[in-house]
Amino acid sequence: MIRERTLHILNGQAMYLYFKKTHFLEKELMVPFNEAMCYGKTYSGLFSNEFIEIRAKVHHVTPMQYSENVLKPLGPLFSEKFTHITLWFDADMFCQINILTLLAWLDKTDFTGTIDLSIVGDQFEPMSHFTLKAKGYNAIYKQVLIDKMMPENILPDPLKKGIELYLNYLNNDSDLMMNIHKHKDLPEKELMVALLKNFKHYGLGDTQYLEIIRATRHNDQ
């Protein structure tokens, strides 16, 4: 019989440091997921060598640096047994695709425990809560991130909305891309700051926005 154990997986280093600073969950085991799975290529074999190589290229780091930054903090998830997982993430697209990746991993590794998903706001305050089972998410991950297809049934609702945004945000007719085209004469850093402010539902960071702006302007030449 496995003793009851909970692992809290947090949306990145900033949330991890904030929870530490505020002593939230201070007696609990917390790990950050330092990824941006909604951006760049990925691979169906989660956290495999091929996956690491592809994602390292996306982030412009070496596979060793990627492993140090992303996989090492997740060590307990890979090496220890838990009966309960709690995910702490925002409602934006960025976070929802990270959630899908973690749910796919839990599905693939036959995790049978309870998964609680806490959706938090801008100040990391809990906004809504869902209880899930790790069933079917590996297939959804492949459908969405590899085949770029919209699955039929997706729960919970924030995940469905995040997937819809993910599948469309780089299309020319998305609100984001239309805004980039509209402001083609604005200096890229000014435009990046404006995108951070006006497109919070995507949750992308300055690095991703700058790369999207540069790629779009290069293609438009």
Give tens-digit pLDDT for 3-61.
Answer: 899 999 999 999 999 999 999 998 999 999 999 999 999 999 999 999 999 999 999 99
- pLDDT one-digit tens code per residue, 142-177: 999 999 999 998 999 999 999 999 999 999 999 999
The closest alpha carbon to 85, from 123, 29, 141, 136, belongs to: 29
* Per-residue pLDDT, 20: 93
Adjacent-strand bridge partners of 115: 85, 132
pLDDT at 205 over 60: yes
Q: Which helix (H) or strand (E) holds 104?
A: helix 93-108
| 1 pLDDT more than 80 | no
pLDDT for position 3: 81
Residue 117 to residue 64: CA distance in whole angstroms: 30
Does residue 219 surpass a pLDDT of 90? Answer: no
The whole-number average pLDDT for the span 62-77 is: 98
Which CA distances in Å does 28 have to 6, 14, 113?
Answer: 8, 17, 17
pLDDT surpassing 80 at residue 138: yes
- Where residue 220 falls among pLDDT bands split at 50, 70, 90? confident
Q: Write the pLDDT tens digit of every residue in 176-190.
A: 999 999 999 999 999
pTM comes to 0.95
